[in-house]
Amino acid sequence: MKTKYCIGFLAAILFLVVLLGIGYQVSYQHALDLREAKSEVPSKTKSISTKGEAVKNEGYYLCELQGFIVVYLSDKSTIYEFTEIPLTDLPEEVQQEIHTGKHIETEKELYAFLENYSS
């Protein structure tokens, strides 16, 4: 009678081991399928279009507006930045340049100029 129980016990253990092995294989295959499906999904990026033409900025112009310095883009009609620097705080020579429209090539030079004359 003991041998019948031993054989049944071993058969049950063998059956459980086989079930665990099959379960592991199924879950592993499912994980691989998910990874493959995620890599095949195309990214959903949208294209953005604008009206008009893009124009390369070719410098800045410093001008006077209501007694303060205003920075215009190179087209001299688009305001780039308003400043709180009064024109009267600048040296006479710089005031004359700004009245005629002082041209500055790069953004770095622009901010260096504004930093020098701001309070």
**Residue 22's pLDDT is what?**
92
**Residue 45's pLDDT is what?**
61
Q: Pick the more confident residue, 119 or 11.
A: 11
Start-end of H helices in 41-118: 92-100, 107-117
- CA-closest candidate to residue 62, choices 2, 116, 1: 116
- CA-closest candidate to residue 59, choices 2, 113, 109, 118: 109
CA distance 6 to 114: 93
- Radius of gyration over every alpha carbon of the chain, rounded to an integer in angstroms: 38
Tens digits of residue pLDDT in 45-86: 666 666 666 566 688 999 998 888 999 988 888 888 888 888
**Which token pair is 52?**
């008009």
Domain locations along the chain: 1-41, 60-117
Question: In which element (H, E) is residue 3 found?
Answer: helix 2-40
